[in-house]
């Protein structure tokens, strides 16, 4: 049941087909990646890394990272990934929460072992090595054997540790595979989400890694992305909304067959801008969370006129029908989900009491998002449940406000009464925005030079920071 088995089976069949391409144009085939992961596994076994050992990994995104992931899973080790958006504090938190037996750091990250107190107690320091010729390690593991520990973003409190078993990741990859089934034999994806790279490795789809700084996608260059797409014959892009905005602002059709976007809300104005810019590109929006990825999926071309109108009039943001094998309920206006690929408990149980529900013997995850299901079973998002102000949830006013003259970004300030709507942009005249707000009801406008966004994808409002600024 080792998750790496699917990759190895595909590697044998795909052979010299390219598996990964880096931002610098370096590449490796499926068979080459399999050989490299085997060499790493042999090397680490010689260092006495064993099945079940937790390994805290700090590496740049690249070929060696994915070879290391495969190598560690060959052994049956459990990978611990800190939340990158939290920097050094995230790494220290991950070390405290998981008590890893080993640390694997490359490049500048190697020196963290000397300056991070939590790493001083880690007994085994790993490096990228090669034991030379040898066997092909593949330790048998059970479906519930821990494969990966990652962390929530911490945007609503202390980051929680999510343990994913091999069975869980297998179920998650199955849902992603259904979503990303290749349409052509030479399918080549530009992938900004690590979980999708792993899914592609299991489907023999070539993944090209981003050529922008992952922590600052909004600063990416559309011209450089276009060159990247052309150089590597990329057919699809799997990118956050911030990159979609960069592409839309460039007014240049990238000529892609498809774009999949998520990791933050994709508002109607951006959907429409992308459709106008690239009418032959199939654009799909994926809704999910760290604990449940994916939950729902909506093709923009399938949105009906009445649904566009409902979004503009305060009906929320259409997320589409839930993906197969995912059950969704609305409890007290909050979206809760369950399924084989939905996390049932956090590491150590920290966070379970407030985020998990037991209903008829099943464990359901509280997403923290307000929403509704329409008569056709489609899911609509209303925004963060905790970000309500007065009678409004965020998306009930933010979507419409984005269409007002001069507005670049809109955000409802949580807990304000009367509700305050923060706006970023260039107001065309004194009181123009407030006049629009008055039509909606008792809503006060507050102009901000910059509305704070999340550090992970720069695509979601940081409502905690917003409340401190404008509350």
Model pTM above 0.85? yes
Domain 4-13+28-151 fold is: Rossmann fold (3.40.50)
Q: What is the pLDDT of residue 195?
A: 83
Q: What is the pLDDT of residue 157?
A: 65
The class level of CATH for 394-470 reads alpha beta
Is the bond preceding residue 418 a cis peptide, omega within 30 degrees? Answer: yes
Cβ pair 260, 177 in contact under 8 A? no
pLDDT tens track for 14-27: 889 999 999 999 99
Q: Which of 354, 355, 469, 464 is nearest to 414 (CA)?
A: 464
The rounded Cα 415 to chain-centroid distance in angstroms is: 27
Residue 1 has pLDDT above 60, yes or no: no
Residue 388 has pLDDT above 60, yes or no: yes
Is the bond preceding residue 294 a cis peptide, omega within 30 degrees? Answer: yes
Mean pLDDT on 344-360: 95
Residue 46 has pLDDT above 70, yes or no: yes
Return the domain boundaries, the chain. 4-13+28-151, 170-387, 394-470
Average of per-residue pLDDT values in the chain: 93
Rounded distance, CA 202 to CA 174, Å? Answer: 10
Topology alike, domains 170-387 and 394-470: no
Residue 471 has pLDDT above 80, yes or no: no
Q: What is the pLDDT of residue 191?
A: 97
Query: Percentage of the chain with pLDDT > 90?
Result: 83
Mean pLDDT on 220-247: 97
Q: Which of 162, 156, 1, 157 is nearest to 73 (CA)?
A: 1
Residue 143: pLDDT band with limits 50, 70, 90: very high
The rounded Cα 192 to chain-centroid distance in angstroms is: 8
pLDDT tens track for 283-303: 999 999 989 999 999 999 999
Total residue count of the chain as it appears in this document: 471
134 φ, ψ (degrees, to nearest 5): 175, -155
CB atoms under 10 Å from CB of 354, counted, come to 10
Residue 455: pLDDT band with limits 50, 70, 90: confident
Residue 226: pLDDT band with limits 50, 70, 90: very high
Q: What is the pLDDT of residue 287?
A: 97
Residue 412 has pLDDT above 90, yes or no: yes
**b/e map of 1-20 (b: 16 or more CB within 10 Å)?**
ebbbbbbbebbeebeebbbb
pLDDT tens track for 192-206: 998 899 889 988 999
Residue 12: pLDDT band with limits 50, 70, 90: confident
Residue 456 has pLDDT above 90, yes or no: no
Cβ pair 151, 141 in contact under 8 A? no
Residue 117: pLDDT band with limits 50, 70, 90: very high
- 132: which DSSP letter? -
Cβ-proximal residues to 419 (8 Å cutoff; 6+ apart), any chain: 389, 390, 391, 392, 397, 412, 413, 442, 443, 444
Whether domain 170-387 has CATH 3.40.50.280: the reply is no
Residue 236 has pLDDT above 80, yes or no: yes
């Amino acid at each position: 049941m080792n998750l790496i088995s699917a990759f190895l089976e595909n590697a044998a069949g795909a052979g010299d087909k390219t598996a990964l391409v880096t931002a610098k144009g370096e590449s490796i085939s499926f068979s080459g990646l399999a050989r490299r992961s085997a060499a790493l596994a042999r090397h680490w076994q010689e260092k006495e890394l064993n099945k079940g050992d937790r390994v805290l990994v700090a590496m740049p995104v690249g070929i060696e990272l994915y070879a290391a992931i495969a190598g560690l899973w060959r052994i049956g080790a459990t990978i611990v990934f800190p939340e990158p958006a939290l920097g050094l504090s995230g790494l220290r938190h991950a070390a405290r929460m998981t008590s890893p037996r080993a640390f694997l750091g490359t490049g500048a990250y190697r020196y963290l072992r000397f300056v991070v107190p939590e790493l001083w107690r880690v007994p085994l320091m790993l490096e990228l090595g090669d034991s030379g010729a040898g066997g092909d390690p593949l330790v048998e593991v059970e479906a519930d054997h821990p494969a990966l520990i990652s962390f929530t973003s911490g945007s609503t409190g202390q980051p929680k540790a999510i343990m994913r078993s091999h069975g869980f990741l297998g179920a998650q990859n199955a849902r992603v595979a259904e979503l990303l089934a290749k349409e052509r034999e030479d399918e080549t994806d530009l992938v900004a989400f690590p979980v999708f790279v792993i899914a592609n490795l299991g489907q023999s789809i070539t993944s090209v890694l981003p050529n922008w700084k992952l922590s600052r996608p909004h600063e990416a260059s559309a011209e450089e992305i276009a060159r990247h797409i052309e150089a590597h014959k990329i057919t699809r892009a799997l990118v956050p909304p911030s990159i979609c905005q960069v592409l839309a602002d460039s007014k240049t059709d990238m000529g892609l067959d498809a774009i999949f976007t998520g990791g933050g809300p994709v508002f109607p104005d951006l959907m429409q801008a992308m459709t106008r810019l690239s009418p032959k590109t199939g654009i799909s929006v994926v809704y999910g969370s760290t604990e449940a990825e994916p939950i729902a999926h909506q093709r923009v071309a399938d949105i009906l006129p009445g649904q566009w109108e409902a979004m503009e009039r305060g009906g929320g943001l259409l997320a589409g029908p839930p993906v197969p094998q995912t059950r969704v309920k609305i409890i007290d206006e909050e979206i809760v989900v369950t399924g084989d690929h939905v996390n049932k408990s956090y590491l150590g149980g920290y966070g379970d009491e407030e985020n998990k529900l037991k209903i008829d013997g099943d464990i359901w995850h509280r997403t923290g998002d307000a929403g509704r299901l329409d008569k056709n079973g489609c899911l609509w998002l209303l925004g963060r449940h905790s970000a309500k102000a007065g009678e409004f949830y965020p998306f009930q006013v933010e979507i419409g406000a984005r269409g007002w003259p001069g507005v670049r970004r809109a955000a409802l300030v949580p807990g304000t009464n009367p509700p305050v709507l923060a706006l970023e942009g260039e107001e065309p005249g004194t009181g123009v925005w407030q006049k629009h707000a008055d039509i909606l009801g008792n809503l006060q406008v507050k102009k901000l030079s910059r509305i704070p966004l999340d550090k992970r994808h720069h695509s979601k409002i940081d409502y905690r920071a917003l409340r401190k600024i404008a509350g």
